[in-house]
């Protein structure tokens, strides 16, 4: 068992309220896609309200900014879910629901196994990535870093 797990944050600005016509297909797909994630090998945790809804959590000043945050056993598990599951179908349609975003919108970082990251922690990591690019502290799928070596 690894001493570290992989946290991820991705953000996007929606084109309308979650109950609007433009967001209807996205909203309708959330329960299914979240179930796919939760059943995926390597899934550990995802950010959600008590009702199971992450779209109600808005930690950024922009009220139209949605966040998706989760923890996975390793990078390979997350990569398989993102790029090789039913999640791909939703990603292909993202331009229908989300505004063009010029900043950094995905951040990955290692956490101690069992640690549940906070939205403040995720915002800090995203800002660090934006300011400094990929480092061992926070990185991207294109420029990943190995987990820290556990000290005994």
Average pLDDT over residues 39-52: 95
pLDDT by residue (tens digit) across 107-121? 999 999 999 999 999
pTM of the model: 0.94
pLDDT by residue (tens digit) across 52-100? 889 999 999 999 999 999 999 999 999 999 999 999 999 999 999 999 9
pLDDT surpassing 80 at residue 21: yes
Tokens describing residue 71 = 């923890």
* Sequence-ordered alpha helix ranges (H) in the chain: 24-39, 75-83, 87-92, 94-97, 119-132
Domains and CATH numbers, the chain: 12-106 (3.30.70)
Lowest-pLDDT choice from 41-45, 46-50, 147-151: 147-151
- Using DSSP, state whether 8 is helix, strand or coil: strand
| pLDDT band per the 50, 70, 90 thresholds, residue 9 | very high
Average pLDDT over residues 8-14: 97
């Amino acid at each position: 068992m690894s001493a570290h797990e992989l946290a991820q944050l991705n953000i996007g600005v929606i084109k309308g309220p979650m109950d609007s016509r433009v967001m209807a297909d996205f909203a309708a797909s959330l329960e299914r896609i979240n179930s796919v994630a939760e059943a995926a090998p390597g899934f550990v945790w995802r950010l959600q309200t008590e009702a199971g809804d992450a779209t109600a959590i808005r930690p950024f000043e922009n009220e139209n900014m949605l966040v998706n945050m989760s923890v996975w056993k390793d990078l390979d598990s997350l990569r398989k879910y993102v790029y090789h599951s039913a999640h791909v179908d939703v990603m292909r349609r993202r331009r229908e629901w989300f505004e063009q975003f010029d900043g950094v919108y995905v951040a990955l970082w290692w956490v101690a196994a069992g640690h549940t990251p906070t939205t403040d922690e995720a915002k800090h990591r995203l800002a660090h990535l934006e300011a400094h690019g990929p480092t061992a502290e926070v990185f991207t799928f294109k420029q990943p870093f190995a987990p820290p070596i556990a000290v005994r």
